[in-house]
Amino acid sequence: MAKIGFIGTGIMGQPMAANLQKAGHQLFLSEHHGKAPQALIDAGAVALASPQQVAQEAEFIIVMVPDTPQVEDVLFRTDGVAAGLSPNKVVIDMSSISPTATKSFAAKINEHGAQYLDAPVSGGEVGAKAGTLSIMIGGEPQTFERALPLFQAMGKNITLVGGNGDGQTAKVANQIIVALNIQAVAEALLFAAKNGADPAKVREALMGGFASSKILEVHGERMIKGTFDPGFRINLHQKDLNLALAGAKELGINLPNTAGTQQVFSTCNALGGGNWDHSALIKGLEHMANFSIRDQ
C-alpha cells in the first residue's frame, strides 16, 4: 500500500482517486480550494488543509487540475506541494498542461531532491471511472517503475514516452487527433443530413468501413441524439489546442487544420457552449450552416 496525495478531485480526478483506493492505497486530499468529496472520505481518505500538508504525509503526490497556472499554484504557492517535499518523494502531474512549463516545474521539484513525472491521460470520464485511461508519461525510467502500480490502478495503455515534458507533448498530439476527428465526423454528418440522408443511417453505414472510429461510434451518436453533457468540455479542449498552436509557433511549424477546428470551438463558445461536451462542436458547424441534423 502506498501513501498517495491526490490534489484535484473533479470530474476526472475523483474516479481516478477512487480507483487508487480500490487498489488498497491510502489517500490524502487537500481542502485548500474546497471540501474533499465525501465519498472518498467515507472510503478512508484523509482531508488536510493544504498541498504542503499532503506532500508531507504522502510518498507520491498526484496533481489533476485544469491548466498550467493551477498546477503552478498547487506546486509552488507558499503552502504548496514543494514546501512539503523531502528527498525521494514523487510528484506526478496528471493534468494536461504546457510541455515547456512542465520541464521548468520538474527542474524546480528536482531541486528538493524529489522526482517528477508528467502523466496526462486520455479516455475521459468513462475511462477514469472504468480505470481504462491511456496514460502518457515523461520522466526517469526508475521513477516510472516506482509509480507503475499507481498507473495500473487508473489505466490500461501506459507508456513511458521519454523525459519530462514528453508525456505532455504526447497528450497535446492526442488532443490534435481527437479534435480533428470530431470535426471530420461532424462535417460528414452535417453534409449527409443537409443532402437529405438520415445521419443515423449514414453513421451506421460508415461504422462498417474504413471511416470507422471511436469518435464516429461514441461522439457520432452524441451528435445525432443531441446529448452534449460533458464528458470533456469544449473550453478544456480549447485549452489543449491553444497549447498545440502555441507550441507550433515556438517550433516554427503550421497546424492549419488544428487552427480551423479551434475556430469552430470558438463559435461554440460564442454560443454559450464552453461547458458543452466537445462532441457539440457540430453545433458550431450547424450554426454557420443555419441547419441542424436533428431537426429534419
Active site residues: 171
Instruction: Check if the beta carbon of residue 203 is closer than 8 Å to that of residue 220.
Output: yes
3-state secondary structure of 144: helix
The answer to whether 291 and 190 are in contact (CB under 8 A) is yes
| Cβ contact 77:55 at 8 Å | no
Closest to 233 in 3D by CA, of 96, 117, 68, 35: 96
Residues 206, 200 contacting (CB under 8 angstroms): no
- Which cell numbers hold the place of 137? 508519461
Residues β-bridged to residue 264: none
Under 8 Å between Cβ of 288 and 268? no
Q: What angle do the packed helices 281-289 and 166-194 form, to 10 degrees? A: 40
Q: Is the bond leading into 231 cis (omega within 30 degrees of zero)?
A: yes
Residues 6+ apart with CB under 8 A from 267: 284, 287, 288
- The β-bridge relationship of strands 90-93 and 26-30 is unpaired
Q: Computed over its alpha carbons, how large is the radius of gyration of the chain? A: 20
> Contact 80/74 with Cβ under 8 angstroms?
yes
